[in-house]
Amino acid sequence: MPDIPSRPASFLVTLNPDHIATLSDPAVTLQDVAATITSQAGSLRVMADGPADDPVIEMLRVAADDPHTLLVTLSDDDRAALAARYGDAIVIEPDIELDLFDTVFAPSAMSPLNFFAAAEGELVIDVTLTGRDGTPVPRAEVTVQGSQIYGIAQAVTDARGKARLTLYGETPDSLREIKVKPSAGYWGLIIKRPDLTGVPVTRKVAQLALTLTPISLHNGETDVWGYLAMQLDKPTPAAQPVRIAVIDSGLSASHDDLNPAGGHDFTNRGDPANAWRDDLSGHGTHVAGTCAARFDGHGICGAAGPEAQVYGLSVFPGGRASSLISALDWCVTHQIDVVNMSLGSAQGTNALHQAVIRATAAGITLVAAAGNAARPVMFPAAYPEVIAVAAIGKTGSFPATSPEAAHIGAHRAGDFFSAAFTCFGPEIDVAGPGVAVISAVPSATNKDYAVMSGTSMASPYVAGFVARLLATRPDLQALPRGQGRVQAVKSALRACCIDIGLPRPYQGHGLPVWGDVAPAEEGLVAQLRAVSDALARALA
């Protein structure tokens, strides 16, 4: 037996929808399960997260409804006892961790130091980053990759645009790659097999100066490749406000290009009514900008159009299935129309799927990023109720020396290509621009923009497109909120897609294109309403 026991862990407990109660095994409620847990030993207490007498049961519910899920902290023994007590009447699942799907060029973890390298084997490189006008570039991540198993070094530039990197067991001739990721304002840079022959050396330190290409947004708000590829610059009919929730890391509410209508924090990092306004990673701000940036004459335009009302729901840092479930419940309570989820996990849960089903039944159209693992579609995008979005790119939309060049996948059709990182499969509904996407990021000036790539970037383009459809189609708005309305929105989205020539698992129905989107014919409106009414009666 190990000297150090395992800590209790968080689990989601739901009722098994396939369980059949009998006279000898009557129906179970979550209140029954909660009472059983409460009556058990004091080991069922939060250990690391609070005082010993804190409760370990949180009941997740929509408004004042009965709880649909229990979030509990259980030891291994307690979990086994609970499972034995209720059998297949309940489902006990780990409260899985979620990822943000922009990891294709996110800061990576530092590799361990190679303790076997001799001290004289050090290779020290001082990097200075500037723009073309000589302005220092601060807060840029610089990574140098060598040939050794631990031959990697990372650093972030200071206010002077300078960073020092030290590698062990490497020489200038063994370096494989230098990569630069600016925080805002510039394109990244990647140099394969860098030649340091002409680099000045001062006191055995190589002095490397690199010049970055600035991001240009001087040709109008719509001069962004994804926006133009989806023809979102074409005239839009009169629109009604549509509510969009971005479930992410929050958003920078003070950014000039964002005007959020509200939000909520589900991370317990502060006041839930306000903490969502502080985006610690920049991911949520970038996603929200793509989806719903203001039409104010500068920066970019959001795919949703000028009438969009965006809400920031923060489940990161520390995102888990339980926080995503709570965020979806919030969307039901607040009658959100469209939800974007640029996040997920390789593993699904019954509790999360039930939350997705509840949101769909409430008339919310859910859009999610497929994932960046170049493997089958991840969750929640893999659920049939969710619009799963794969990422595509376009040649010529980024500098050839930028890291985005590495995202060109094996499947190409004209100028379009499937992103090398995108998840794929029969679950993919549509494709969206997800390589070299320029959008808003937090900054001291509240005016900065940055390049990101990922299915995280493709999903808000589609979510915004769906919101624009809802905003400009009175026939869709007239449908009662429910599953029928969601199905009608999905049908309208598919009707706007064009086949761009990529394999079906990588593009689904294709790329949504605005073009001349017209309201549905009167006869179709009546059919959609009939379908919606029938579904409502069936679900009643």
Per-residue pLDDT tens digits for 139-183: 999 999 988 767 899 999 999 999 999 998 888 888 999 999 999
Q: Does residue 26 carry a pLDDT above 50?
A: yes
Task: Report how far residue 133's alpha carbon sits from residue 523's, in angstroms, rounded to the nearest whole number.
Answer: 61
534 or 491, which is more confident: 491
Give catalytic status of residue 6 as yes or no. no
The tens digit of pLDDT for each residue in 300-341 reads 999 999 989 999 999 999 999 999 999 999 999 999 999 999
Give catalytic status of residue 19 as yes or no. no
Predicted local distance difference test score (pLDDT) of residue 187: 96
219 or 8, which is more confident: 8
254 or 53, which is more confident: 254
Predicted local distance difference test score (pLDDT) of residue 38: 85
Confidence of residue 39 (pLDDT cuts 50, 70, 90): confident
Predicted local distance difference test score (pLDDT) of residue 19: 79
Percent of the chain with pLDDT over 70: 86
> Residue by residue, what is the 3-state secondary structure of 91-136?
EEEECCECEECCHHHCCCCCCCCCCCCCHHHEEEEEEEEEECCCCE
Predicted local distance difference test score (pLDDT) of residue 179: 95
Task: Report how far residue 440's alpha carbon sits from residue 288's, in angstroms, rounded to the nearest whole number.
Answer: 8
Mean pLDDT over 123-148 rounds to 94
Q: Does residue 456 carry a pLDDT above 70?
A: yes
Task: Report how far residue 540's alpha carbon sits from residue 535's, in angstroms, rounded to the nearest whole number.
Answer: 9
Confidence of residue 111 (pLDDT cuts 50, 70, 90): very low
Q: Does residue 505 carry a pLDDT above 60?
A: yes
3-state secondary structure of 477: helix
Q: Which amino acid is it at 304?
A: A
Confidence of residue 5 (pLDDT cuts 50, 70, 90): low
Q: Does residue 474 carry a pLDDT above 90?
A: yes
Q: Does residue 250 carry a pLDDT above 80?
A: yes
Element (H, E) at 265: strand 262-265
Give catalytic status of residue 158 as yes or no. no
| Pairing outcome for strands 122-131 and 205-212 | parallel
Q: Does residue 378 carry a pLDDT above 90?
A: yes
Catalytic position from the list 249, 345, 443, 456: 456
Predicted local distance difference test score (pLDDT) of residue 24: 64
- From the DSSP assignment, how many helices (H) and strands (E) are in the chain? 11, 27
Residue 73: phi, psi to the nearest 5? -105, 120
The tens digit of pLDDT for each residue in 412-442 reads 999 999 999 999 999 999 999 999 999 999 9
Predicted local distance difference test score (pLDDT) of residue 43: 44
Least confident of 17-26, 212-221, 238-247, 368-377: 17-26
Q: Which two tokens stand for residue 205?
A: 């330190």
Catalytic position from the list 264, 283, 286, 353: 283
Q: Which amino acid is it at 143?
A: T
| Pairing outcome for strands 242-248 and 308-314 | parallel
Residue 440 near residue 204, CB atoms below 8 Å: no
Q: Which residues contact 196 (CB under 8 A, 6 or more apart)?
A: 125, 172, 175, 206, 208
Which sign does the torsion angle of CA 371, 377, 382, 386 carry? positive
Q: Which of 45-49, 145-149, 501-505, 524-528 has the highest mean pLDDT?
A: 501-505
Q: Which two tokens stand for residue 18?
A: 């396939």
61-82 as b/e: b if 16+ CB within 10 A: ebeeeebbbbbbbbbeebbebb
Predicted local distance difference test score (pLDDT) of residue 268: 85
Q: CA neighbours within 13 Å on the CB side: how many for 146? A: 25
E strand map for 349-386: 365-369
Predicted local distance difference test score (pLDDT) of residue 169: 80
Nearest in space to 338 (alpha carbons), one of 228, 511, 481, 456: 481
Task: Report how far residue 359's alpha carbon sits from residue 370's, in angstroms, rounded to the nearest whole number.
Answer: 19
Mean pLDDT over 385-404 rounds to 96
Q: Does residue 105 carry a pLDDT above 50?
A: no
Residue 497: phi, psi to the nearest 5? -85, 145
What average pLDDT does the chain have?
A: 87
Predicted local distance difference test score (pLDDT) of residue 217: 78
**Integer angstrom CA distances of residue 161 from 130, 157, 411:** 7, 5, 38
288 or 527, which is more confident: 288
Nearest in space to 455 (alpha carbons), one of 99, 144, 175: 99
Predicted local distance difference test score (pLDDT) of residue 102: 67
Residue 385 near residue 366, CB atoms below 8 Å: yes
Q: Does residue 524 carry a pLDDT above 50?
A: no
Q: Does residue 515 carry a pLDDT above 50?
A: yes
Task: Report how far residue 263's alpha carbon sits from residue 304's, in angstroms, rounded to the nearest whole number.
Answer: 18
Catalytic position from the list 95, 102, 126, 248: 248
Alpha helices in 443-521 (DSSP H): 455-472, 474-477, 483-495, 504-507
222 or 209, which is more confident: 209
Q: Does residue 63 carry a pLDDT above 70?
A: yes
Task: Report how far residue 377's alpha carbon sits from residue 97's, in angstroms, rounded to the nearest whole number.
Answer: 17
149 or 454, which is more confident: 454
Mean pLDDT over 43-54 rounds to 40
Q: Which residues contact 187 (CB under 8 A, 6 or more apart)?
A: 212, 213, 214, 215, 398, 399, 402, 451
Predicted local distance difference test score (pLDDT) of residue 307: 86
